[in-house]
Structure 1
Amino acid sequence: MTSSEARCYHGIDIGGTKIELVSWRDDGGELQEVFRERVATPGTDFNEFVAAITGLVARGDAALGPLAQPAPVGIGLPGIIDSASGRQLSSNVPALNGRIVATALQDALARPVIIGNDCQCFALSEAQGGAAAQAPTMFGAIIGTGAGGGYCVDGRLQRGFNGIAGEWGHWTVPATLLAQYSLPVLDCPCGKSGCLERYVAGPGLSRLHAHLGGDGAEPLLIAERAGSGDAIAAQALAIHLDLLGHAMAGLVLSHDPHVIVLGGGLSKLAHLYPQLPAAIRRHLFRGVQAPPVLPPRFGDAGGARGAALLARQHTIQRP
């Protein structure tokens, strides 16, 4: 497909409970929404999953109009793809595990299908027209049920050799930090132990609260309690902030982004934006500054948009 033909795109955001398709028309570099639909995710039957996608795309094609070329499809999918086999791993949609999803969908749809993980699609959406639109480089850090992200340079997603660039949640918490706060070494579903995700994602913050003697409340409630003077909640937030500062300092040292944009449920914690840069600086050596930490512009709505932008990135040379 040539760049002159690639003027419409479908972006699909796949979650454990819903699939959302948004169809876009490229209007001089800006994506204009034409059609949007959500359906329930068929969680256990792969053929039903493929049928749900093909139905959504057919209705999106109809909305784009008969003169539109078959629009490439970008998909944001939780989990990772095995770089050797192409099979989906660690997805929260059981029907997809072990399947070569891209090939199956390309055969069913008869058009290009580009798959990235949901965190990478979030980053790309915030890099193009989002909170980091003017930044030469940016890192989109998801802190929700899990922890992951994506790195963009000049508005283009950098995926890496295995396609997993941005998986900071599976860096290991240093033993010194675990000892400082008397934290246990937690096993991670990825097969490793002590992964940052287990401590700084939403369930990790709740786990910190319980470890300190609290009831393991959900993160926004912990923040509310801390604001009301609850000592245990305040301590949980302080430890979480330090661990997150260590993680983001690692991103500064490895990627040196001009901007960090937070996503996921914990991006709603208002204290992170004024306090996280100082927490990052504590883990950097002298002379290195922390970049601005910004809230997302599109938030949860950016998944399908980022997936469409991923499709566009793969069909033209520049966004």
Structure 2
Amino acid sequence: MHKAHHYYGFDIGGTKIELACYDDELRLIRQWRTPTPTRDLGQFLDAVVELVHQADSHVGGQGLIGVGLPGIVDPVTGRHLSANVPALTNQNLAALLTERLGRSIAVGNDCQCFALSEANGGAAAGAPTMFGLILGTGMGGGYCVGQRLLRGSNGTLGDVGHVSVPAVTLERHRLPVLDCPCGLRGCIERYASGSGISAIHAHFTGQQLDAVQIVDQARDGNAEAQHSLDVHVAVLAQGIATLVLHLDPHVIVLGGGLSKLDHLYTRLPPLVATHLFAGPRPPPILRPAFGDASGTRGAAILVRQNH
């Protein structure tokens, strides 16, 4: 007889730690949230363990745990590199939590968890391959084949935000080569993310506005704001074309704050096509089905698939 399980999906960011409990059918049972202690490892682990104990008490048992968080996890050492939660840098979170909780932990990148959620019953349900592309403060993604993640030898498959924008694209749009916190220069994340819209607008106008303000101004007919959005979507389209030529996904699902921008879904496909040679067609570019829930849901799917 099949034993029922509960799956705990953690979505860990620089502001909050969220835990969602799902049943065997991935139905949401309950969610818990707490602020993220970003710099003290002991406090961070205590916060995670406390949420697990609350969930265990609620379900009357021990759930299986999946964790999605920003940054890179070394697949050999299990050690983490995180700008959002510095306390985790050079730490093996899975090993630390296993020691504290007495159960194995599945850990994945937050972008990869988003992709996994949308590949399993989400916007890309049934697609043989898909790419989940998060456009938020930063830019990253995950690649799923047959509803399962491919991570690559370094665990960085899908980390497209740190591919360089071609010099010809920067020249065409009169953009500078921007430094990236990763140590490289000209990374597409610096132009195509939400903060990238702000950087483009600041370059052309000298104004320090966030993406929401720029979008609002463009809707009100501001020509400078509209130009910034035009340049943003053009650079993003070139980046997606590179993604299509490298991975050829059947579907691309957008996530993050910019996934709410209607114009991306109408303008991107024809612009992507201009960067492809004759033959390849851009895949459908879709809105996420689960939105903010994809992080916890994807982490729960990660542990469910690895159990």
TM above 0.5, yes or no, is yes
| Aligned equivalent of 1:236, options 228, 248, 251 | 228
Gaps of 5+ in 1: none
Q: TM-score, normalised by structure 2?
A: 0.96
* 1:15 match: 13
* 2:265 match: 273
By how many angstroms is 1:229 displaced? 2.1
* 1:25 match: 23
Instruction: Indicate whether 1:45 and 2:40 are aligned.
Output: yes
Give a deviation string over 1:109-166, Cα, whole Å, max 9, x none. Answer: 1111011111011111111111111222111000000000001112111111111110
Equivalent pair of 1:6/1:312 in contact (CA under 8 Å): no
- SS at structure 1 position matched to 2:243: helix
The count of aligned residue pairs is: 307
Give a deviation string over 1:203-250, Cα, whole Å, max 9, x none. Answer: 111111111115232212222222222111111111111110011111
Give a deviation string over 1:254-289, Cα, whole Å, max 9, x none. Answer: 111111110111111110001110111011111111
Equivalent pair of 1:34/1:64 in contact (CA under 8 Å): no
Give a deviation string over 1:156-202, Cα, whole Å, max 9, x none. Answer: 11111111110011100001111112211111111111100011111
By how many angstroms is 1:93 displaced? 1.1
* 1:86 match: 78
Equivalent pair of 2:82/2:88 in contact (CA under 8 Å): no
| Separation of aligned partners in 2, 1:142 and 1:49 | 25
By how many angstroms is 1:6 displaced? 7.0
Letter in 1 for 2:106: I
- SS at structure 2 position matched to 1:212: helix
| Separation of aligned partners in 2, 1:17 and 1:220 | 20
Equivalent pair of 2:252/2:285 in contact (CA under 8 Å): yes
* 2:285 match: 293
* 1:107 match: 99
Equivalent pair of 2:269/2:285 in contact (CA under 8 Å): yes
Moved more, 193-202 or 211-220: 211-220
* 2:297 match: 305
- SS at structure 2 position matched to 1:194: coil
* 1:60 match: 55
Q: Alpha carbon RMSD of aligned pairs, Å?
A: 1.5
Gaps of 5+ in 2: none
Instruction: Indicate whether 1:183 and 2:178 are aligned.
Output: no
- SS at structure 2 position matched to 1:98: coil
- SS at structure 1 position matched to 2:262: coil
**What are the residue-to-residue correspondences of 1:140-289 with 2, within 5 Å?**
140-213=132-205, 215-289=207-281
Q: TM-score, normalised by structure 1?
A: 0.92
Equivalent pair of 1:113/1:311 in contact (CA under 8 Å): yes
Equivalent pair of 2:74/2:155 in contact (CA under 8 Å): no
Moved more, 53-62 or 268-277: 53-62
Letter in 2 for 1:286: A
| Aligned equivalent of 1:135, options 119, 124, 127 | 127
By how many angstroms is 1:4 displaced? 5.0
